[in-house]
Chain A
Amino acid sequence: QKEVEQDPGPLSVPEGAIVSLNCTYSNSAFQYFMWYRQYSRKGPELLMYTYSSGNKEDGRFTAQVDKSSKYISLFIRDSQPSDSATYLCAMSGHAGGTSYGKLTFGQGTILTVHP
């Protein structure tokens, strides 16, 4: 079993839709959670970062963490064609843990938003 599971999709939605992207994890040492967006042939771009359970909002993006269920989500409201990319969840642990100093990534979800 992978430490982080992410549905690779692909996911195709119409413009304006609400998109929900999800990851589950098994390592309870993970304390810090990130979402990256990666356009084709580019490096990953940090979208959201959170370290507590609950919601964090930034514009059209909301990151949600449920540590009790080991489940994180990224919601994109009013999706745009420019949101078409691969979305990667990533996690890291606290100092002293086995995941110290490392990011563990999900497989990435390919999202297409069509006009």
Chain B
Amino acid sequence: DTEVTQTPKHLVMGMTNKKSLKCEQHMGHRAMYWYKQKAKKPPELMFVYSYEKLSINESVPSRFSPECPNSSLLNLHLHALQPEDSALYLCASSQDSASAELRTQYFGPGTRLLVL
């Protein structure tokens, strides 16, 4: 089973709202990732968690706050977003981020976010 699940599928929020995106995998993977994807563009890496610790933050604004409660779950907390943050937010996981041959990433279906 190579499934990564994400909820919700769609989210509309105002600029003053606080919301969270959730991601779950049961493949025993120890690395999890958040990406942002705008239309007709490739995914852009936001955060990497390795063994439940934040290992990469790609200079993402603080209005995005990741959390990894355990090895299967990854959250992205959203607060005071801007309309330009509207995008498809993708979660991915891989067995490991340390060993390159185990770094093949499997993506979830994404959460389509619209900020009004």
Listed in ascending order, the chain A residues whose CB lies under 8 Å from chain B are: 8, 31-32, 34, 36, 41-46, 49, 51, 88, 92-95, 100-103, 105-108
Contact = CB atoms under 8 A, between A and B. Distances in A.
Contact of A101 (B43, B97, B109): B97
B50 interface: yes
A33 to B, nearest CB: 10
Interface of B: 2, 4, 6, 31, 40-43, 45, 48, 50, 55-56, 88, 90, 97-101, 103-110, 112
Given A34-B104, A101-B55, A43 B110 contact: yes
B108 A88 contact: no
B106 to A, nearest CB: 6
B100 A44 contact: no
Contacts, number: 66
Is chain A's interface secondary structure helix, strand, loop, or mixed overall?
loop
Nearest to B50: A101
B99 A103 contact: no
A44 B101 contact: no
A42 B4 CA distance: 12
Contact of B98 (A31, A51, A95, A108): A95
Contact of B41 (A41, A45, A107): A107
Chain A CB within 10 A, most for which of B6, B97, B101, B105: B105
